[in-house]
Amino acid sequence: MCLAVPGKILEAEERDGNRVAKVQFGGITRQAFLTFVPEAEVGDYVLVHVGFAISRIDAEEARRTFEMLESMGAIAEELGADA
Amino acid sequence: MKYIDEYRDERIVRSLAARIARLATRSWNLMEICGGQTHTIMRYGLHELLPPAINLVHGPGCPVCVTPLEVVDKAIEIASRSDVTFMSYGDMLRVPGSSRDLFRVKAAGGDVRIVYSPMEAVKLARAMPQRQVVFFSIGFETTAPPNAMAVWEARRTGLDNFSMLVSHVLVPPALRLLLTSPGNQVQGLIAPGHVCSVMGYWEYEEICREFHIPIVVGGFEPADLMEAVSMLVAKLESGRAEVENQYVRSVCREGNLPAQRLMREVFRVCGRKWRGIGLIPESGLCLRDEFAAYDAEKIFEVSGVTADEPSECISALVLQGRKRPTDCPAFGVRCRPETPMGAPMVSAEGACAAYYRYRRGRAPEATA
Amino acid sequence: MNSFVCPAPIGLNDTVLLGHGSGGKLSADLTRDVFLAAFQNPILARMDDQAIVSINGMRLAFTTDTFVVKPLFFPGGDIGSLAVHGTVNDLAMGGAQPLFLSAAFIIEEGLPMETLRAVVTSLQRAAAAAGVQVVTGDTKVVEKGSGDGLFINTSGIGVVPEGIQLSASQARPGDRVLLSGAIGEHGIAILAKREGLEFESELASDSAALHTLVAEMLGASHDIRCLRDPTRGGVSSTLNEIAAQSRVGVEIDERAIPLREEVKGACEMLGLDPLYVANEGKLIAIVAPDAADPVLDAMRRHPLGGQAQIIGSVTAAHPGMVTMRTLVGPSRIVDMLAGDQLPRIC
C-alpha cells in the first residue's frame, strides 16, 4: 500500500486557499499539496502520496542513519563478507 | 533520485543480509504488513538474500485486496449510472466484483476515469456541474487524509455534485485479529512505514505490549526492508519485545498531527468488513454525519448491496499470512492475473499477484 | 478524459476489451484464437513484425500497422510521423530496406481541416526523411462519436537483401541481447501530455525510423538472429515473445538497462515499471555471441544507437520465460502483462 515518493520542493505558494508546491522527482516536476506539512519549505524534501506531502524528510536523521549503513557496507566489502 | 537510489545499493543490501545470517541462530517467522513492502521484496528478490531460517509471511496491508466484494459491487452499481462520472485510483479498476469489474463498466459505456489524486476528482467535479462525480475513497491510514481533503474542499467550495464512496481500513485492528487467531505463527512484525508517517507508531507500542511481539517500523526500499529484518531478528534473538523505528527519515512517534486532525474531522471509526476475513469491529473509517451530503452510499442508496465470496478463493488465509499463494489449489491454474478469482491476484501488490509475476510459484530458495 | 486502457477480464470474453489491444497476453490470445485460427498459412504463423514473401526470387517484406494514439500531437511527434516510423520499423526489423507505404485515413466528422493538414504534412516529412514514398492511400469519414478524431493505417513493402534471415524464432542459448538505448520515453511522453506532468527538460517521444541503424548493424555482422522494436507492452512483451517463439529463456541485467532520469521519476511517481512502457524508436537485437561486440560498436556509432547496451543473454534454462538480475543481486521473473499497466497508489 501507499506508494509515496520523495521529492524536493522547488517552489511553494498559496493558491485558492491551499498551500501547494512544485515538487521535483528525479527528472520530472509535479504539483503537490503541502496541507499536512506546514513546516516544509523550499529546498526541503517531502514524501508525496496521491498528490499530498505526508511527511517532511528529516535530512539529518537520514544522513546519520545512512552513513551507518554505508560504512557497514564498506567494511563488509573489505572483509569480503558477501551474502 | 535522492532518498531512493542510495537505498537500492547492492553492497549495503548484501551486508545487511550477511548481518542477518550471522544474527539468526534459529528460525523466525516475520510478517511485513504492507503490500508495498511485499511488492519490494518480490520485485527485488529480497527473500532470496535471507537465510533459510528467516521466513517472511505477507500480511493484509493491501487495501485493494481487503476491499469487501460488496463495496466493489456498490461501486459498479454507481458507476453504471448514466448520470455518474466515477473516479478511482488505478488500483481498483481491475478488482473483480461479483460479476464484473469497473473496467467492464467502462467498456460497456460507463464514464469511469482514473485519477492520481483526490483533488483531481474535485477539480473535475467543478468543471462539469451537470455530472454527478463520485470518487472511490479507499486505502489505509496513509490515503485517508488526502481523501478527507477532497470532501473538505468540496464542502468549503460549495460543490453540490461531488460525493465519495468510502471504504477505508485501519491497520491496528487487523493486526490484533491476526495475532489472536489460532494458528498464528508470526513472531515479529514490520510495520507499514507510510501508514506510520501519518499515524505515528504509538499504536504499535500497545500491540507490542499486548502480544509481547517485537515491531520495527520499516520503509519501502530494499535497504530499508533488510535493515528492518535485521533489527527484528536482533530483538527476537535477545528476547526483546519492543518497538523501534527503522524509517526515521519519514516517521516519528506521534506521526503527522495536521493529517490526523483532518481525518478525525471528516471520518469516524466504524466496523468494516475485510474481504476474505469478515467484519472487524472498529477497523474502518466512515464519513461523519456532517458530511452525509457527500456520502455516495446514501445518495445512491446502495447500502443494501451484499455479496457472497467465492469459496475456492483462500485470500482470507493468504491475507492473514497463514497460507502462501502457492498453497492455493487455484493459484496459477484457474486464478491468474488475467483471470483473477480474488483481489490478492489483481492488485499490483497483492501477495498472489506478486508471487505469480515475480516468482511463478517457485519455492523460496535462499542463496544467502 | 480517461487515459487508461484495459485490464484483465473476469473469465471468458464475449466482447472485445481495450486490453486486447495492449500488446500483452490478451492481445496474444486474441491473435491466436481469432486471427491465426482463421488465416492459416506458414507465413503468418511465423508471427514476426513483418511477413517475408518471395515473388519470382525476390524477397519482399510486407507489413501493416494502425495508429490510434491519443493525443494526436505530442512532444517528439504526432500520429502522422508515428504512422511512418512504426511501419518503416516493422519492415526494418525484417532486415528490409523500406520502399513504399500506403496511408489510409479514418477521420471523425468534425476534425478541423488544419489538424488533418498538419498530420499529413508531418507524415510526408517523416516519409521523405526515411526515404520512402507514400504511393497509395484511402480516406473514410465516420460519424461524430465513432472515432477518436483520427486513425491512420499504413502498410509498407521493402526489399530484403540476399542472405538476411531474421526471425523471433531463431534465438539460441548463448546469444546476446542488445538494446539500442534508453527505454520508456514514448509511453511516458504520451502520458505526460495527457495527464499534465511537467518535465525538467522536455521529455519527447523517441519516435524514429530505425532502418539506417539496422543497415549499419547488418553491415557489421550477418549473425543477427532477430530484431524487434519494443512498442506497446514494452521491452518485457518483446522479450517474452522472443522467448516463446524460440522456446528459450532470456536473462537480462537490470543494471545494464539505460533509463533517463525523467522516465525514471515519472515511473516512480506513478508506480509504473519502465519495462512495460512503450518505445517507438528503439530496437532489441538477438545476436550470436561473437557478433555482439561488433554489432554494439556499429550501433553506438549511429545517432539512434548512442546508448546501446548488451543487456543480457539467451539461455537454455527456463524456456519461454524471461528473468532479470535485479539491482541488488537476486533474479526475478519479468512477466508479460495481461492488459495495460495501470498507475497505482498502493
Q: CATH code at A56?
A: 2.30.30.140
Strand, helix or coil at C12?
Answer: coil
Total CB pairs under 8 A between chain A and C: 52
Query: Which helix H or strand E contains C153, and what residues bound it?
Result: strand C150-159
pLDDT (mean) for C170-185: 98
Average the pLDDT over C96-101 and give the result.
Answer: 97
The domain locations on chain B are 5-61+177-191+202-245, 65-170+255-299, 315-359
Distance (Å, whole) CA B323 – CA B345: 14
CA distance linking residue C271 with residue C346, whole number of Å: 8
Class of domain B5-61+177-191+202-245: alpha beta
Cell of C48: 514476426
Alpha carbons C53 and C159: distance in angstroms, whole number:
10
User: Which run of H or E residues covers position A79?
Assistant: helix A59-79
Question: Which domain does A14 fall in, by range?
Answer: 5-79
Other C-beta atoms closer than 10 Å to the C-beta of C1 total 8
Question: Could you check whether B5-61+177-191+202-245 and B65-170+255-299 share the same CATH topology?
Answer: yes
Write the CB contacts of C140 (distance below 8 Å, at least 6 apart in sequence).
C104, C105, C106, C107
Asked if A24 and C200 come within 8 Å (Cβ–Cβ), the reply is yes
Q: Using CB atoms and an 8 Å cut-off, which of residues 250-279 of chain C contact chain A?
A: 260-266, 268-269, 271
- Distance between CA atoms of residues C256 and C326, nearest Å: 10
pLDDT for res C1? 28
Calculated CA dihedral for residues C17, C21, C25, C26, nearest 10 degrees: 20
* Chain A residues inside the 8 Å CB shell of B1: 6, 25-26
To the nearest whole Å, the CA of C111 is away from the closest chain B CA by: 23
State the cell numbers at C101: 507505404
Contacts of A2 in chain C (CB under 8 A): 345-346
Q: Which three cell numbers stand for residue C214?
A: 539496422
How many angstroms separate the CA atoms of C213 and C299, rounded? 7
Residues B142, C189: Cα–Cα separation, whole Å: 29
Amino acid at C108: E
- Can you give the pLDDT at residue C117? 96
Predicted confidence at residue C108, as pLDDT, reads: 92
- The CATH architecture that domain C176-333 belongs to is Alpha-Beta Complex (3.90)
Instruction: Give the separation between CA B180 and CA B193, rounded to whole angstroms.
Output: 23
Q: Which residues of B touch C328 (CB under 8 A)?
A: 8-10, 13-14, 44-46, 49, 222
pLDDT of B363: 41
Residue with cell 493538414: C117
Greatest alpha-carbon pair distance for chain C in Å reads 58
Question: Is the pLDDT score of C336 beyond 90?
Answer: no
Name the least confident of B66-70, B186-190, C138-142, C177-181. Answer: B66-70
Q: For A16-73, how does the pLDDT look when each residue is reduced to its tens digit (9 = 90+)?
A: 899 999 999 988 888 999 999 999 999 999 999 999 999 999 999 999 999 999 998 8
Q: What is the reported pLDDT for C11?
A: 46
Minimum distance, in Å, between the CA of residue B124 and any CA atom of chain C: 10
Which chain B residues contact residue A47 at CB under 8 A? 194, 197, 250
- Could you please state the CATH topology (level 3) that the domain comprising C41-159 is classified under: 60s Ribosomal Protein L30; Chain: A; (3.30.1330)
**Residues 6 or more apart in contact with residue B42 via CB below 8 angstroms:** B354, B355, B357, B358, B359, C332
| Chain A residue at shortest CA distance from C188 | A28
Beta-strand pair B28-34/B54-61: parallel
Residue C140: strand, helix, or coil: strand
What are the C-alpha distances in Å from C25 to residues A37, A71, B252, C20, C38? Answer: 43, 45, 44, 8, 19
SS (H, E, C) A30-78: EEEECCCCCCCCCCCEEEEECCEEEEECCHHHHHHHHHHHHHHHHHHHH
Phi-psi region of C121 (alpha: psi -120 to 50; beta: other; left: phi over 0): alpha
Distance from CA of B131 to the nearest CA of A (A): 23
For chain C, percent of residues with pLDDT exceeding 90 = 73
Looking at chain C, the domain(s) classified CATH 3.30.1330.10 span 41-159
Contact A2 B139 (CB under 8 A): yes
Pairs across A and B, CB distance < 8 A: 143
Q: What is the pLDDT of residue B59?
A: 84
Disruptive mutation site among B358, B360, B367 for chain C (greatest number of C CBs within 10 Å): B358
Chain B, residues 109-138, CB within 8 A of chain C, namely 112-114, 116
The CATH number of the domain covering residues in B65-170+255-299: 3.40.50.11740
Cell matching residue B234: 536482533
Which of B67, B116, B226 to mutate against chain C (most C CBs within 10 Å)?
B116
Cell readout for C120 is 499529413
> Looking at the predicted structure, is the pLDDT value of residue C199 above 60?
yes
Q: Three-state secondary structure along chain B? A: CCCCHHHHCHHHHHHHHHHHHHHCCCCEEEEEEEHHHHHHHHHHCHHHCCCCCEEEEEEEECHHHHCCHHHHHHHHHHHCCCCEEEEECHHHCCCCCCCCCHHHHHHCCCEEEECCCHHHHHHHHHHCCCCEEEEEEEECCCCHHHHHHHHHHHHHCCCCCEEEEEEEECHHHHHHHHHHCCCCCCCEEEEEHHHHHHHCCHHHHHHHHHHCCCEEEECCCHHHHHHHHHHHHHHHHCCCCCEEECCCCCCCCCCCHHHHHHHHHHEEEEEEEECCCEEEEEEEEEECHHHHHHEHHHHCCCCCCCCCCCCCCCHHHHHCCCCCHHHCCCECCCEECCECCCHHHHCCCCHHHHHHHHHCCCCCCCCC
pLDDT: which is higher, C128 or C7: C128
Indicate yes or no: CB of A27 within 8 angstroms of CB of C203.
yes
B263–A contact, CB cutoff 8 A: no
* Burial class for C36, CB neighbours closer than 10 Å (0-12, 13-18, 19+): middle
Find out whether the peptide bond into B364 is cis, omega within 30 degrees of 0. no
Number of residues that make up chain C: 346
> In Å, how far are B38, B359, C30, C188, C255 from B368, measured between CA atoms?
19, 17, 43, 37, 20
pLDDT, average across residues C289-299: 98
Q: Which is it for strands B188-192 and B28-34: parallel, antiparallel or unpaired?
A: parallel
pLDDT given at position B368? 31
User: Tell me, what's the pLDDT at C82?
Assistant: 97
pLDDT of residue B312: 67
Task: Report the C-alpha dihedral over residues C191, C196, C199, C200, rounded to 10 degrees.
Answer: 180
- Counted residue by residue, chain A has a size of 83
- What is the C-alpha separation between B84 and B81, in angstroms, rounded? 5
**A28 close contact with C: CB closer than 8 A:** yes
CA distance C18 to chain B (A): 7
Longest pairwise C-alpha distance within chain B = 66
Reported ipTM: the value is: 0.93
Residue A27 near chain C (CB below 8 Å) = yes
Judge: A27–C263 Cβ closer than 8 Å, yes or no. Answer: yes
- Give the nearest partner residue to A26 out of C262, C329, C345, using CB atoms: C262
pLDDT over threshold 60, residue C6: no
CA-based nearest distance A44→chain C, Å: 17
Asked if C185 has any chain A CB less than 8 Å from its own CB, the reply is no
The answer to whether C345 contacts A49, with C-beta atoms less than 8 Å apart, is: yes
Per the CB < 8 Å rule, is C329 touching A83? yes
**pLDDT score for B348:** 67
Q: Which residues of A are less than 8 Å from C271 in CB distance?
A: 3
Could you say which of B44, B139, B143 has the minimum Cβ distance to residue C330?
B44
Q: What is the CA radius of gyration of chain C?
A: 19
pLDDT at residue B66, as a whole number: 85
Rounded CA separation C56/C229 (Å): 29
The answer to whether B306 faces chain C, any CB pair under 8 Å, is no
pLDDT confidence band for A75 (50 / 70 / 90)? confident
How far apart are the C-alpha atoms of B64 and C341, rounded to whole Å?
A: 16
Sorting pLDDT into bands at 50, 70 and 90, what band is C3? Answer: very low
Give me the phi and psi of C262, to 5 degrees please. Answer: -65, -45
Contacts of C204 in chain A (CB under 8 A): none
Q: Which of A25, A38, A57 sits opposite B250 (nearest CB)?
A: A57
- Please give the C-alpha separations between residue B190 and each of B19, B59, B208, in angstroms, as whole numbers: 18, 10, 12
CA B266 to chain centre: 21
pLDDT of residue B25: 97
Q: How confident is the model at residue C127 (pLDDT cuts 50, 70, 90)?
A: very high
The single residue listed with the C-alpha cell 493468504 is: B318
> Which of residues 46 through 105 in chain B touch A, CB cutoff 8 A?
49, 61-63, 89
Instruction: Quickly list H helices, chain C.
Output: 25-30, 37-38, 42-45, 79-92, 113-130, 185-195, 211-220, 234-246, 261-270, 292-301
CB of B15 closer than 8 Å to CB of A49: no
**Average pLDDT in chain C:** 90
Determine contact, residues C144/C194, Cβ cutoff 8 Å: no
**Contact indicator for C238, C246 with CB cutoff of 8 Å:** no
Cβ–Cβ under 8 Å, residues C214 and C283? yes
Q: Are C270 and C192 in contact (CB under 8 A)?
A: no
Q: How many structural domains does chain A have?
A: 1
Nearest-Cα residue of chain C relative to residue B10: C328
- Averaged over successive runs of 10 residues, the pLDDT of chain B (368 residues) comes to 95 96 96 92 94 90 85 95 94 86 89 92 95 95 96 96 96 92 91 97 97 97 97 97 97 98 97 85 96 96 80 72 82 80 74 78 40
